[in-house]
Structure formats: C-alpha cells, structure tokens
Chain A
Amino acid sequence: MRGLRVDNLESVYNKAVTALSGVSLEVPEGRIVALVGVNGSGKSTTLNAIAGLLPGDPQAVTGGGVWFDDERLDGLPPHEVVRRGVVLVPEREKIFETLTVAENLQASVAKGRDQAARLAEVFELFPDLVPRKASIAGYLSGGQRQMLALGRALLCYPRLLLVDEMTLGLAPKVIAELLTRLVQMRDGLGISVLLVEQNVTAALEVADYGYILEKGRIVFHGTPDKLRSHEDVKEFYLGLGVAGARSYRDVKQYRRTRRWWG
C-alpha cells in the first residue's frame, strides 16, 4: 500500500504507564487525515512513535509496527525516517529561536537536492516569511512560527507530514490560513498529512478522514461527515450538546458507549 500504515501500535512509558494500546490507522497517499482526542489520549505519542522519536528508555514502542510504502519505519533512527519522506512538525520546540528565519529554513540537511528552488516554493506558499527572512525567528508571532516550521519541514522534501497541534493558541483567522496551506500542499505538491488536533472543528474541515483517539485507543473513525453527525462526537468533541448542559448521567451514558466501542 502507498502511504502510511500504523498497525496495532503499543507504547509503554517507563515500563509502567500504557500510552498506546493498539493504535491502527492509515494515511493513504495524497490525503489529509485527522487524529483527534483530548489531552493525554496518546496523539503526540503516536506521532513520535512514527517519527522514531521514542528513544526506547523510558518511552518505548512495545508492540505493533509502522509501515510507509510497505517499508518498516519503527526501529529506524529519526533521521532515517526523515530520509524516507516522513517529516514531523513538532508541537513545541519547533523553531530555532536565536537563528534568523533564513537560517531556520536552511537548517535541514537535504544533500543533493535543489534547496534554492524549494526555498522559492516555500516563500511562495508563505509570503509572510519573505520580509522577515533576516529577522530573528524568536521575534515571530505564533502564526508565523507555525508557518516557518511548516516551511522548514517542506525543505526536507516530505511525502508525509506529521503535524502536531498546529492550531494551538492561534487566532481563528490564522488557523484558517494554515489549514488552507495544508490543502495547497496536498493538492500542489502531493504531500499527505497526518494532522493531530484538539481543535476538532477545524481539523474536520480540511481532513479527508478522521480518527478519534481516547486513552491510547482508536475509538471511532470515519469520514468527517460521519464523525460530525455522530451524537457523542457532537457532544464531547464539537461542543454541540443535544441535551444542553452535560450532566452526570450524560457522562455515564457516554462512558458506556465508549466501552462498547473500545
């Protein structure tokens, strides 16, 4: 299969805390797939496991596997994963704050590739960065930082971007722009995206498919329409309560259904 396949991935922290218990998902080529869930549900762990950033101790992948174009990724060091075209845009610590924007963009080691041409593409995609090329990246606003992180990831020549919490702390207008850029990358450059989000409304707007992660398990998946129309997704992720205020009974009912899914 072309694209990313995560099969029954398990991860344990410090040999004590189960972070992922059997996560399976697929990102076919040229698609945007959303992975949503609350804090601590294991979204970032999934991404780090795919990118090869779980160091083994104290965090480790203990079962299952990750395949990209039928090549096994888990067990490879992070730079080898990037070489195969799978690039992570981390949630925090994503830009080099004391370097300039241009230096940030040039930081990726893409040997034997036309970096100048790709830079031109990046600046075309993110025109906001052009006048700030020579300024220190630490002075950028949150939205510009995110653009810089995406642009820098593009310079690694990705075929799949793993985007972690892109919309965190950003204004709705900026979120909308960033999401449009993701769609442009998919359509123009053929890059598929695994989008990890808490902002479910925004994520489902651009995604072709969605997975909902809870306590290290995929509890529900489907097309955005299917997810949006599901009662419990509405209630607990989109905040469109059918019954008004959440009561204890609602929560109990929700837990029961969730157990049933899991």
Chain B
Amino acid sequence: MRASGYFKTRYDFDFGFWETPFRRFWVVAGLCGMVAFPFSVSGFWIGVVNLAAIAAIGALALNLLVGYTGQLSLGHAGFLAAGAFTVGILVGQWSLPIWLTLPAAIVVGMALGVLVGVPALRLRGIYLSISTFAAYFVILSLVIEYQSLFSGSSGVLIPAPQIGSWIFRGERSWYFVLMALVGLATLLCLNLKRSHIGRAWLAIRERELAASALGINVSFYKVMAFVISTAMTTFAGALGAYYAGFVSAEAFTFLVTVEYLTMILIGGLGSVLGALLGALFVTVLPFLVERAVEVLPVPATFKTHLFAVQIGVFAILMLGFLMFEPRGLVRIWGRIRAYFELWPFKYRPLQ
C-alpha cells in the first residue's frame, strides 16, 4: 500500500477549514475558472450562469433548512416572492436605492422566518410542510393583491440598480457581482456548518431526542435555521428582481418551490457543493434541452411544445436521481474522486 493520504496530527485539525491540499487546489482552480469564464463565452451563457448564481443563493438557503436542519419547507417560492416584492414595493413606491432595499429584504425575510419558524416548533414532518405551504399561499395572495391594486396586472418595473455612479448593467458586470455574493453565501454556509450552530442543526436533523440530551436548545436552533434560511431566500428573491428588471406574482408558482427542492436533491442534500451544482444543473438544463431540440432530429411537435419537453426531461432526471443516486451529484463526484485517490485499488484498506 502506498503511504499516502492526509494525516491529521492534532485533534484540532478536525475543526479545520482548508482541510487538505486537494481542497485548496480546487478552490484556487475554481476561482481562476470563474474569472476566465465571462471572457470566453457569449453573453447568453453568461446570463444563464447569472440566473444559476441567483438560484444558487436560494438553493444554499433552502439547503440550510432542509439539508442541515431536516425541516422540509414548501414555502420557498413564497419567500422568494416576498424578497422580490419588498424590492418592487420600495422601488416602485419610493424609488429607494439598492443599498436600502437589499437590507430591507433581509429584514423582511428574518421576520417571516420567525413567523413560520415558531409554529414549526410544534409541527413535524408532513404537518410542517403543510404549514409552510400555507405560508406560501398567504404570501402569494398578498403580493397578487398588491400587484392588482398598485401596479396594474403586469408587475412592477425596476430600473437597473445604481451604487454611486456605477450602474449594474450588462451580463458581465452582473456576473462578477453575483459571483462575489455566491462566494459570500457559500462561505457563510460552510462556516455555519462547522460552527456549533451547524453541528446543532445536524444533530436536530438526525435525532431530536439525542440532540436535546446533548444540551442543544432544539427550539432555539430550529427557529434560527428558519430565520437565516428565509433571510437568505428573500435576499436571493430581491437580487432576482433587480436582475430581471421587473417583478410579477406570476413568476412565483409552486413549480419554483419544486425546482429549488430538486436543486438540493439532485445536488445532494445537506451539502454546500451539492446546492451549488444542483442550482447550476437545474438552471442550465432547460437551455440545454432547447438547444438539443433544435439540433437533434426530433419530431416537430417537440419544438412547438418546448415547455412540455423541458418539464418532461426535468421530471425524468429527478426520478432517475431519486431512484439511482439519491445522494446526488456530490456523491457521484465523491465516487470519481475516490476512484482516482485509491487507484490502483478498489477499496479503502481496513484500518
């Protein structure tokens, strides 16, 4: 056997962040790729990746709640709508600048988190999902009401945001802003996971009884998960509103919730990398399907019913992941990595 591997010589190393040279290498390589990306592809694909970046923040937020804490929420589209409409209302009514509207969206998210999180203390499993689903409908009916009263039926237009004299315009400048924000959100999630908060969340997800026997204040940490998650979600919703340039209640159907749940499922529940990969995958997929339908020799009805084809492919992939790799893309990546790490052996040697 080769004498290779990463040996930890002190118990503190278990708490480390950059655990291995392997990780450090991939972080640096990823950063270089991210900087090079917008200069090597067309504006269309930068736009797709921008959408994926916004989705990634939302998926990371949902992952905190569903993946880490194990509280299944079906209200995600509602929280995104709340964030988007916070921006819509503040910009549409008072033309407030972005550095006020984004924090306002976060505050709205935190308040919603408390509102939804406190009932969650007494509800588990399917009952909790139903209560978050109800929250989605409450939020949605509020924003529909706002839209029909104040802004006609089409939605609220939002001009390009401006900080000082710098206007966010064009895919490339958005790309760098969004990448920085995704980076911050990723760091936040990673650090939450390795802090006592993340450990408490994982313990609650696994076994609530054992968690409380370890001195974890189960109710406090559950509400905290809801607050942080919904605040991040409304932030993503607000960014999406600015990026799209308008907000409309029709954009936040229940399908959006399903898409976000699919992102974290396909990516791998409870994994930060999984949420990022899943967001990218689910966002890019419809565009790839569109290209494929154009290029491949398929019946003409596929082109006229493109949306149906996209949804169909999406459903088949989701079923496939649930059946064949429930632990998602992260697990597939882990298997590939293990193959090369262990080569030429097939299994890890017994200790």
Cα–Cα, bound, A120→B196 (Å): 18
Is A245 engaged at the interface, CB distance under 8 Å to the other chain?
no
Is A183 engaged at the interface, CB distance under 8 Å to the other chain?
no
Query: Given A96-B203, A116-B12 in contact, is the A107-B351 Cβ separation under 8 Å?
Result: no
Among A79, A89, A110, A152, contact of B217 (Cβ-Cβ < 8 Å): A79
Query: Given A96-B203, A99-B202, A103-B202 in contact, is the A110-B215 Cβ separation under 8 Å?
Result: yes
User: Of residues 41 to 80 in A, which have CB atoms within 8 Å of B's CB atoms?
Assistant: 51, 53, 77-79
Cα–Cα, bound, A108→B276 (Å): 28
Map CB proximity to B onto A102-142 as digits: 1 under 8 Å, 0 otherwise.
11001111110001100110010000000111000000000
By beta carbon, the residue of chain B nearest A121 is B11
- Of B75-83, B130-138, B163-171, B205-213, which binds chain A? B205-213
Cα–Cα, bound, A90→B207 (Å): 11
Is B54 engaged at the interface, CB distance under 8 Å to the other chain?
no
Cα–Cα, bound, A116→B10 (Å): 9
Q: Which residues of B contact A98 (CB under 8 A)?
A: 206
- Whether A53 and B14, one on each chain, are in contact in the complex, defined by CB atoms closer than 8 angstroms, is no
Cα–Cα, bound, A123→B12 (Å): 13
Interface of B is mostly: helix
Cα–Cα, bound, A106→B14 (Å): 9
Among B206, B210, B351, contact of A90 (Cβ-Cβ < 8 Å): B210
By beta carbon, the residue of chain A nearest B10 is A116
Is A225 engaged at the interface, CB distance under 8 Å to the other chain?
no
Among B202, B207, B218, contact of A93 (Cβ-Cβ < 8 Å): B207
By beta carbon, the residue of chain B nearest A111 is B196
- Whether A102 and B14, one on each chain, are in contact in the complex, defined by CB atoms closer than 8 angstroms, is yes
Q: Which residues of A contact B215 (CB under 8 A)?
A: 78-79, 82-83, 87, 108-110, 156
Is A97 engaged at the interface, CB distance under 8 Å to the other chain?
yes
Among B15, B206, B351, contact of A99 (Cβ-Cβ < 8 Å): B206
Is A193 engaged at the interface, CB distance under 8 Å to the other chain?
no
Map CB proximity to B onto A85-97 as digits: 1 under 8 Å, 0 otherwise.
0011110011111
Chain A nearest CB, measured from B279 CB (Å): 23
- Whether A93 and B216, one on each chain, are in contact in the complex, defined by CB atoms closer than 8 angstroms, is no
By beta carbon, the residue of chain A nearest B201 is A107
Q: Which residues of A contact B15 (CB under 8 A)?
A: 106, 115-116
Query: Given A93-B209, A96-B207, A131-B351 in contact, is the A123-B214 Cβ separation under 8 Å?
Result: no
- Whether A96 and B213, one on each chain, are in contact in the complex, defined by CB atoms closer than 8 angstroms, is no
- Whether A107 and B200, one on each chain, are in contact in the complex, defined by CB atoms closer than 8 angstroms, is yes
- Whether A93 and B210, one on each chain, are in contact in the complex, defined by CB atoms closer than 8 angstroms, is yes
Q: Which residues of B contact A96 (CB under 8 A)?
A: 202-203, 206-207, 210
Number of interface residues of B (CB under 8 A): 23
Number of interface residues of A (CB under 8 A): 37
- Whether A119 and B14, one on each chain, are in contact in the complex, defined by CB atoms closer than 8 angstroms, is yes
Is B172 engaged at the interface, CB distance under 8 Å to the other chain?
no
Q: Which residues of A contact B331 (CB under 8 A)?
A: none
- Whether B214 and A108, one on each chain, are in contact in the complex, defined by CB atoms closer than 8 angstroms, is yes
Chain B nearest CB, measured from A8 CB (Å): 25
Q: Which residues of B contact A131 (CB under 8 A)?
A: 351
Chain A nearest CB, measured from B207 CB (Å): 5
Q: Which residues of B contact A111 (CB under 8 A)?
A: 196
Map CB proximity to B onto A181-222 as digits: 1 under 8 Å, 0 otherwise.
000000000000000000000000000000000000000000
- Whether B196 and A116, one on each chain, are in contact in the complex, defined by CB atoms closer than 8 angstroms, is no
By beta carbon, the residue of chain B nearest A164 is B213
Chain A nearest CB, measured from B61 CB (Å): 22
By beta carbon, the residue of chain B nearest A78 is B212
Cα–Cα, bound, A78→B212 (Å): 6
- Whether B210 and A82, one on each chain, are in contact in the complex, defined by CB atoms closer than 8 angstroms, is no
- Whether A116 and B11, one on each chain, are in contact in the complex, defined by CB atoms closer than 8 angstroms, is yes
- Whether A53 and B212, one on each chain, are in contact in the complex, defined by CB atoms closer than 8 angstroms, is yes
Give 30 A-B contacts (CB < 8 Å), ordered by A residue: A51-B213, A53-B212, A79-B212, A79-B216, A87-B213, A87-B215, A90-B213, A93-B209, A93-B210, A94-B210, A95-B210, A96-B203, A96-B206, A99-B202, A99-B206, A103-B202, A106-B199, A107-B203, A108-B199, A109-B196, A109-B199, A109-B214, A109-B215, A115-B15, A116-B10, A116-B12, A120-B11, A132-B351, A133-B14, A153-B214
| 9 A-B pairs with the lowest CB-CB distances in the bound complex, closest first | A82-B215, A96-B206, A131-B351, A78-B212, A107-B203, A108-B214, A79-B217, A88-B213, A116-B12
